[in-house]
Structure 1
Amino acid sequence: MFDDIGLNAKKAEAEDKSKQKELWDDPKKAEKVLKELKYWTDLEDVWKGLSAKAKDIEELGHMVEEGSTEANELETEFEQLENAYQKAHVKLLLSGPYDKRDAILVLSSGTGGVDAQDWTEMLLRMYLRYAEQQGWKTTVTEKTMGAEAGIKSATIEIKGMVAYGFLKGEHGVHRLVRLSPFNAKNLRQTSFALVEVLPIIPEDEGVEIDEKELRIDTYRSSGAGGQHVNTTDSAVRITHLPTGLVVTCQSERSQAQNKSQAMSVLKGRLTQKLLEEKKEKIEELKGGYREAAWGNQIRSYVFQPYTMVKDHRTDQETSQVQAVMDGDLDDFIEAYLLKSK
């Protein structure tokens, strides 16, 4: 069973890496390899449990009467087993070069004024809840408050095995439709926010960044309403001159720490840019390339006049809007990974 799904091979590869003598010369690399080995070992345990459960259900299925209470209970158990199988199977699909990396999420408000800023803050809460449910560690490294409500932007660092692999499908434009609480007439309002998902790349890997191509500005960190939260120029803004990409960080007290965080985000953005350019070239050859514009939202969240969340790439949808906003994203993430395998 395990050979069929490729789990044995993946675990064996991780075990071989962990046995290399020179591995322990690099503690960071060793930690990464041991994390990967634990990931595959834990997944193997899950598969063994599912296999045993499937065998039990099959045996009991021959012993119960069709239409009986026991048969109905067995059917419910089988449905639960199917769901658990799909969740475990999805983890085997994460074979991209950066799928097992930690991730950075950058949220930016788009068209829609105050509603868009409020929407961006709602998405921030949604992703923090989702990460918490996965047992991942999160740090909000940058947050720019809106003048009236919500946030203009935010950056979250998410540390957890396969965080990038699971979240990469969230990259894109998210659309909100609701009756605006910021409009005196309570009119229907459509708002947009952009979610960027970037892999965290170690300094010695991935895209090389020439410091000569950077403009680094420092300024005082500020909180809500523009008030200064410290008296030193610890906040950092880095501009990558060849691409025009701009990254800011003001969450740490030290300028050096903020610079390090900002460089991590910049490296992730440049890596993501290269991945997207490669994908766009392939799509152009296929005749399916579409510009990444605000009209090309990946998912819509409708609060009024009815409730629905729909992913436009997979057609996955639910009427349980509040559950989704509370971080219940599993069905959407799994549907995307299964479709893009």
Structure 2
Amino acid sequence: MMRERTRLEEAIGRYRALEASLNDNLELIEMGEAEGDAAIVAEAEAALKAARDVAAEAEIETLLSGEADANDTYVEIHAGAGGTESQDWAQMLLRMYTRWAERKGYKVELMERHDGEEAGIKSATILVKGHNAFGWLKTESGVHRLVRISPYDSAARRHTSFSSVWVYPVVDDKIDIEVSEADVRIDTYRSSGAGGQHVNTTDSAVRITHIPTGIVVACQNERSQHKNRATAWDMLRARLYEAELQKREDAAAAQASGKTDIGWGHQIRSYVLQPYQMVKDLRTGVETSDTDGVLGGDLDPFMAAALAARVKGGVESVEDID
């Protein structure tokens, strides 16, 4: 109840601040024009433009009305085929989403990470904590394509790499997901990467495989196997819940558009660094030449467009890709 109260107070406070900014700056413009003071007018107009951006983000957030949109979320990243090149791209994506979350004021926890042999990562899972974290990130599930001159190619040739992103919400106590222990296989193994002597020399990491669906989750961020096991169970319930949400959404999309045989694994966005610089979302057509900004976490324009199209009917689901 306190979390809900805080959310409502923040929403009301933002609305009142926008209203006050609008009224105050309109008065300043009138006063500046009456007095012939161009500096006051310019300052007030700049403030109105800033308020417009805040209002646009608030408008998008009103679309986050799904039953799990307000929840925290897990983000899984997996390198595609291609060895070191794809693993480096996966690490770039991990950094990109971490930077995006930090810009939003969200908290990020690394749940699991498997490093590549030479560079990059084979896979990683992060937990993003914050209001509407899943709502914002849910349209990022899919395959992300990178085109660049490979720093690992002595001939300096252009390479194309693929990595996949999978986003699913944390299941809170309002959502009941039952999982039979007979349907899972639990494996323990030694954690990889930094973490101290205890982490790297004991079988504290836990992997759970849900046999009926083939869903696999893993956790290695705690020293205690018991804590990792509990977290892995939470992650599994979250994945199963997200799978059920996906079924409902796919059914609704098929009914609305008649499209079938569309999987989440289709490419959703291209990041081209050579021979030109361009990031383009293939679902909405949104593009930018500021590749450094995007890779540094400036993802809101892509997320907002995908979310608006998804909710308003332009794209019925993340998978609605030609």
Count of aligned pairs: 306
2:24 and 2:243 map into 1 onto residues whose CA distance is 48
Is it true that 1:335 corresponds to 2:305 in the alignment?
yes
Is 1:171–2:141 an aligned residue pair? Answer: yes
Question: How far did 1:71 drift?
Answer: 4.2
Give me the whole-angstrom Cα distance separating, in 1, the residues matched to 2:138 and 2:174: 22
Post-superposition Cα deviations, 1:163-195, rounded to whole Å, max 9, x if no partner, equal 111111111111111111111211111111111
Determine the structure 2 residue equivalent to 1:12: none
- 1:49 positional shift: 0.9
1:268-283 map, 5 Å: 268-283=238-253
Distance in 1, Cα, partners of 2:218 & 2:106 = 23
Whether 2:23 is the aligned partner of 1:55: answer yes
Alignment of 1:23-172 (within 5 A): 33-65=1-33, 68=38, 70-172=40-142
Contact conserved, 1:101 with 1:200, CA < 8 A, in 2?
A: yes
| Worse-superposed segment, 278-287 or 251-260 | 278-287
CA contact (8 A) 1:218 1:233 kept: yes
> Is the Cα–Cα contact under 8 Å of residues 71 and 172 in structure 2 kept in the other structure?
no
- Structure 2 CA distance for partners of 1:144 and 1:158, relative to 1, 3 Å: same
Aligned 8 A contact 2:86 2:161 in 1: yes
Inter-CA distance 293–90: structure 2 relative to 1 (3 Å threshold) = closer
| Secondary structure at 1:133 match in 2 | helix
Residues 142 and 264 of structure 2 are in contact (CA less than 8 Å); yes or no, is this contact kept in structure 1? no
Give the direction of change, closer, same or farther, for the CA distance of 1:72–1:144 in structure 2 (3 Å limit): same
Mark the CA change 1:277 to 1:82 in structure 2 (over 3 Å): closer, same or farther.
same
**CA displacement 1:99-118 (0-9 Å, x = unmatched):** 11111111111133321110
Greater mean deviation of Cα atoms: 74-83 or 167-176: 74-83
Query: Residues of 1 paired with 2:226 and 2:45: CA distance?
Result: 58
CA distance in 2, matches of 1:204, 1:259: 21
Query: 2:257 matched to 1:289?
Result: no
Whether the aligned pair in 1 keeps the contact of 2:29 and 2:40 (CA below 8 Å) is no
TM-score under structure 2 normalisation?
0.88
> Aligned equivalents of 2:172 and 2:9: distance in 1?
25
TM-score of the aligned structures, taking structure 1 as reference length: 0.83
**Cα shift readout 1:97-146 (whole Å, capped 9, x = no counterpart):** 00111111111111333211101001111111111122222111100011
Post-superposition offset of 1:93: 1.6
Q: Does the aligned pair in 1 maintain the 2:78–2:123 contact within 8 Å? A: yes
Partner in structure 1 of residue 315 of structure 2:
none
SS of the residue corresponding to residue 340 of structure 1 reads: helix
Identify the range of structure 1 (183-192 vs 277-286) with the bigger mean alpha-carbon deviation: 277-286
Query: Could you tell me how far 1:89 is from its partner in structure 2?
Result: 1.8
Change (3 A) 1:203 1:243: farther
Q: Counterpart of 2:160 in structure 1: which amino acid?
A: T
- Checking the alignment, whether the CA contact within 8 Å between 2:72 and 2:132 is kept in structure 1 is yes
**Residues 237-248 of structure 1 aligned to structure 2 (within 5 Å):** 237-248=207-218
Does the 8 Å contact 1:206/1:271 carry over to 2?
Answer: no
Gaps of 5+ in 2: 312-322
> What is aligned with 1:315?
285
CA distance in 2, matches of 1:57, 1:204: 43
Q: Which SS does the other structure have where 2:267 is aligned?
A: coil
- Taking only aligned residues, the RMSD between alpha carbons, in angstroms, comes to 2.2
Distance in 1, matches of 2:198 and 2:150, equals: 31
Aligned residue in 1 for 2:176:
206
**1:105–1:195: 8 Å Cα contact kept in structure 2?**
yes
Asked if structure 1 preserves the Cα contact closer than 8 Å seen for 2:141 and 2:264, the reply is no
1:186 matched residue in structure 2: 156
Q: Unpaired segments of 5 or more residues in structure 1?
A: 1-32
Letter of the structure 2 residue corresponding to residue 245 of structure 1: I
Q: What CA deviation, in whole Å up to 9, does each residue of 1:270-328 have, x standing for no partner?
A: 1111111222222222223352265x211111111111111122222211111111111
